[in-house]
Amino acid sequence: MNGNKKSVSKLKSFFTVPVIITSIILAIVLFISIFAEWITPYDPEEANLADSLCKAMEKGHILGTDKLGRDLLSRIIAGARSSIVNAFLIVGFEMIVGIPIGLICGYYGGRLDSFIMRIWDIVCSLPSLLLAFVLVAAFGKGTYSGVIAMGIVYTPLTAKLARSLIITEKSQVYVEAAKSLGYSDARIIFIHILPNCITTMVAQLTLDIGTAIVSMASLSYLGLGVQPPKSDWGSLLKDGMTMLYQQPMLLIAPAAAIMITSISINIFSDGIQAYIDPSQRRLPSFKEYRRKNKDAA
């Protein structure tokens, strides 16, 4: 019974009203990004100069059109796929590269750990976007160059997190037991220790998705990320700035998409953190506290 009560308490700490609302928003964004090809009302890349700069709700265009007559809502939906997919690619890159490096450095320590951590310290000391600009300039403009550049920028923080977690875990009794049974270091690190660290990493990686959306949008806004005729929310922002006075919706719509999505991811990540870490959970109000004491009495 006590275990069931604790499970219910943990679920209540996660399923708060803000988390439920943001979960619905994120589910809608994911649905749109997955089925973008089927739900766009118009071809997002098809120009129609006869409908240039239509206002919202004019000629069947809910959000209006850009200077080439392309439907803004369709471009926002198509841009959602690029923005979400690129963010997941960035986080996937930092997971594949950063987590193994952090686990190995934390498990073995020594000179290898000191050398790699000093490199990560140098990378972390540089402004993230400035470093990304330099890397994109070296790799060349484009979507994949931007993804790799941002992945390199985020990898040190993920590696440091994995390292700190394994340093704590490797002194646990189950690790000593695994060593006494003759298990290899690779099995101990990735089969026994990693599953006990992954829950904490999930909250940070979820938060990184929101940061990656904003960072990739920044690269595209500066013309270093997604290249025309493809678009994402950052490139739509760039186009909207040039037509701000003629058609403000061209700027407002992608800005709202970025803001709502990134804020929703941050709130959802906080909910995950509260579910994992008891110290982050919401304390009961005074009325709830008094009612529990009366029920206990």
CATH number at residue 155: 1.10.3720.10
Count of domains forming the chain: 1
CB-based burial label for 27 (10 Å; 0-12, 13-18, 19+) = exposed
Tell me: pLDDT of 135 over 70: yes
**Within a domain: residue 19?**
no
Task: With respect to residue 283, please indicate whether it lies within any of the assigned structural domains.
Answer: no
For the entire predicted model, the pTM comes to 0.83
> Average pLDDT, stretch 134-145?
84
Q: Residues 239-254: what's their mean pLDDT?
A: 86
Range 131-145 average pLDDT: 84
Give domain status of residue 164, yes or no: yes
Is residue 285 included in any domain, yes or no? Answer: no
* 113 found inside a domain: yes
CA end-to-end distance (rounded Å), the chain: 19
Domain of 60, in residue numbers: 36-273
| CB contact burial 164-193 (16+ within 10 A = b; e otherwise) | ebbeebbeeeebeebeeeeeeeeebbeebb
% of the chain residues with pLDDT over 70 = 88
One-letter amino acid at 192 equals H
The pLDDT score that the predictor gives to residue 197 is 84
pLDDT in tens, 57-102: 888 788 888 888 888 888 999 888 888 999 999 999 999 999 999 9
- What integer pLDDT is reported at residue 292 of this predicted model? 54
pLDDT at position 31 is: 93
Residue 10: inside a domain = no
Closest CA to 219 of 94, 133, 128, 139: 133
Average pLDDT, the chain: 83
Residue 16: pLDDT above 50?
Answer: yes
Burial letters for 209-225: b for 16+ Cβ neighbours within 10 Å, e otherwise? bbbbbbbbbbbbbbebb
290 in a domain, yes or no? Answer: no
Residue 4 pLDDT: 54
Is the residue at 123 inside a domain? yes
- Look at residue 130 and tell me whether its pLDDT is greater than 70: yes
